[in-house]
Amino acid sequence: MSSVLEVRHLSKRFAGSRKTPAKEVLADVSFQVGEGEFVTLIGPSGSGKTTLFRMIGGLELPTEGDISIDGANAVGTRGHIAYMPQQASLMPWLTVSANIELSLTIAGIGKREARALARDWLARVGLEATAHQYPDVLSGGMQQRVSFLRALLSPQKLMCLDEPFSALDALTRQHMQAWLLSLWESNRRSVLFVTHSIEEALLLSDRILVLSAAPASIIREVRVPFPRPRSEALWGDAEFIRLKQELYDMLRPDPTL
Amino acid sequence: MGSKRARLLPPLIVTAAFLLLWQAAVWLFGTDAYILPSPSAIAKQAYDSAPQLAHHMWGTLRITLIGFGAGALLGFLIAALLHVIPWVKSGFYPLLVLSQNVPIMAIGPLLVLWFGFGMLPRVILIALVTFFPVAVAMMTGLSKSDGRLFEYMRMIGASPSRLFWRLELPGAMPHLFSGLKIAASYSVISAIYAEAIGSDSGLGYFILIAQHGFETVKVFAAIAVIVLLSLALFGVIALAERLFVRGGSPRGKEGSRS
């Protein structure tokens, strides 16, 4: 299987100053995301997931190690990923459609094509009524749908989703997971997903990488065995519950600390 | 529409009450017109000298618009330049502040001395006064762009020029318009001053002549026209703001929820 993202022996230390001590955030992290594969990083908060994303996005340089995206070295270079942040991050002065078009044109798609894509897909996911509305009239869940669509339509091979549902209420979150699942399963892209939710990880992913607390390293890899297409019915599955318990035990804070 | 009318009502009532009080006071104390004319006398004078006032108003309006336009453009360009190149900002910012500490009383006659009695010294004077609030407001707006949006744009690989045109500049629009509103009021006042020192037309010149003849009524008539002119300019900018600053600005009512 050819890998779209390959991270090799990545480490990151932030040099200290007089006031803050030096901090090691990532320690020798290696993994890859295959073509059309959904890989989830899960770990306690403060385990350097955001730093890892910033390095993959090219905003931060690793202290050691390599990142390659689609076969090309991507250390310190931007524009190789489609990105969905924690908060929807839509420009408040642009309509929903114009927001999508903006991201697509930044990714190098022509204006006319970007517009056609945005209109076409907004209609396809039942959001055509919002195309000419401004983001502030949309609910949080709707904004995240637009944000996901924007990432899905971007031409880059790798999609990075950074805790995209963490700001939503529990019910909306479940709806969003089901929505994303169905959309992704019919349009397979390579995804690197970060979450704190074990159920979310199990429902969506092909593989789950468990990160330790800082300095983060991968302590476990779980291959999620459920066949696709999946649905929320999985939540009652015995294997699902067993894996959930297993992951929960791994993520429990060290009692000796 | 009804609520809009309701909002206009309080200022109208207060203004009317103020004018009535003024009228009553002048009538009651029998104040001489050359000291303080009554509003009705001012209105009558304005009506009688309408052609003259209109002529001078056009002169004032012309240099105000040219000076304001030049100043606003200058302020915009300076803000953009200082924002994009950080060392320029640290180097030139003190100079900008300094430019506002030079009293226009001193610089006005000097400009006439350097550039003659034409329109140029007046336009320069107005531009000098108006560029500053625009530049400062705009720089504030540019430096306060939303951190989350900034991070998002950088993650998807937006170039510095895209960041400026698609994020920082639209984000700075509300600030830019506050600066423009302040500058608009300044520009009318400085136009009047400029016309009083080196001109043979305009409301400033009109006031100067009226004052020399102790025609206080005419001075007040001109003041009334100036006030209306300022209000009109302010209104045009407020209207433009409503057209250009769309969607929920970061300061909008929706934004305060999160």
**Is residue A142 in some structural domain?**
no
Residue A202: give its domain's CATH number. 3.40.50.300
Mean pLDDT over A213-232 rounds to: 87
Taking contacts as CB-CB distances below 8 angstroms, the residues of chain B near A87 are 148
**Is residue A170 in some structural domain?**
no
Q: Which of B97, B93, B190, B79 is nearest to B141 (CA)?
A: B79
The burial of B183, by beta-carbon neighbours within 10 Å (0-12 exposed, 13-18 middle, 19 or more buried), is given as buried
Residues linked to residue A192 through DSSP beta bridges, in sequence order: A39, A160
In this predicted structure, the answer to whether residue A76 has a pLDDT above a threshold of 50 is yes
Q: Please give, one letter per residue, the 3-state secondary structure of B9-26.
A: HHHHHHHHHHHHHHHHHH
Q: Which of B148, B158, B252 sits opposite A87 (nearest CB)?
A: B148
Q: What's the one-letter identity of residue B11?
A: P
- Give how far B174 is from chain A: nearest CA, Å: 11
Taking contacts as CB-CB distances below 8 angstroms, the residues of chain B near A135 are 247-248
Domain count for chain A: 1
- Give how far B190 is from chain A: nearest CA, Å: 34
- Give how far B249 is from chain A: nearest CA, Å: 6
Chain A contacts in chain B segment 234-253 (CB below 8 A): 245-250, 252
Locate the chain A residue with the closest alpha carbon to B255.
A136
Q: Do B157 and A94 touch (CB under 8 A)?
A: no
Handedness of CA B59, B65, B71, B77 (dihedral sign): negative
- Give how far B13 is from chain A: nearest CA, Å: 36
Q: Which of A59, A80, A134 sits opposite B154 (nearest CB)?
A: A59
**Is residue A13 in some structural domain?**
yes
Residues in chain A: 257
Q: Which of A83, A93, A134 sits opposite B152 (nearest CB)?
A: A83
**Is residue A243 in some structural domain?**
yes
B241: its two tokens: 């703001």
How wide is the angle at C-alpha A79 spanned by C-alphas A74 and A82, nearest 5°?
Answer: 105
**Per-residue model confidence as pLDDT tens digits over A137-156:** 999 999 999 999 999 999 99
pLDDT confidence of residue B249: 44
- Give how far A158 is from chain B: nearest CA, Å: 11
**Is residue A83 in some structural domain?**
no
Q: Is B153 on the interface with A (CB under 8 A)?
A: yes
**Is residue A181 in some structural domain?**
no
Distance CA B53, CA B223 (A): 11
CB-defined contacts A:B, below 8 A: 75
pLDDT confidence of residue A21: 81
Q: Do A92 and B247 touch (CB under 8 A)?
A: yes
Domain extent, residue A69, equals 1-76+189-257
Q: Do A136 and B157 touch (CB under 8 A)?
A: no
Mutate to test the interface with A, among B148, B155, B241 (most CBs of A within 10 A): B155
pLDDT block averages, 10 residues each, chain B of length 258: 76 94 93 90 92 93 96 95 88 87 88 88 93 94 91 93 93 94 93 87 92 92 94 93 68 38
**Is residue A89 in some structural domain?**
no
Locate the chain B residue with the closest alpha carbon to A77.
B157
Q: Which runs of consecutive H residues, i.e. helices, occur in chain A?
A: 49-57, 96-106, 111-124, 140-153, 170-186, 198-204, 238-251
Q: Give the number of other Cβ atoms within 10 Å of residue B80's Cβ.
A: 18
Peptide bond before residue A85 is cis, with ω within 30 degrees of 0? no
Q: Give chain A's contact residues with B (Cβ, < 8 Å).
A: 53-54, 57-59, 78-83, 85, 87, 89, 91-95, 102-103, 106-107, 134-137, 154, 160
Q: Which of A69, A76, A77 is nearest to A5 (CA)?
A: A69
pLDDT confidence of residue B142: 93
Mean pLDDT over A163-169 rounds to: 89
**Per-residue model confidence as pLDDT tens digits over A115-139:** 999 999 999 988 999 999 999 999 9
Strand, helix or coil for residue A111 = helix
ipTM: 0.90
Taking contacts as CB-CB distances below 8 angstroms, the residues of chain B near A153 are none
Give the domains, in start order, of chain B with CATH numbers: 41-245 (1.10.3720.10)
Q: Which of A91, A92, A107 sits opposite B156 (nearest CB)?
A: A107
pLDDT confidence of residue A254: 65
pLDDT confidence of residue A16: 78
Are B185 and B72 spatial neighbours (Cβ–Cβ below 8 Å)?
A: no
**Is residue A159 in some structural domain?**
no
Distance CA A162, CA A84 (A): 6
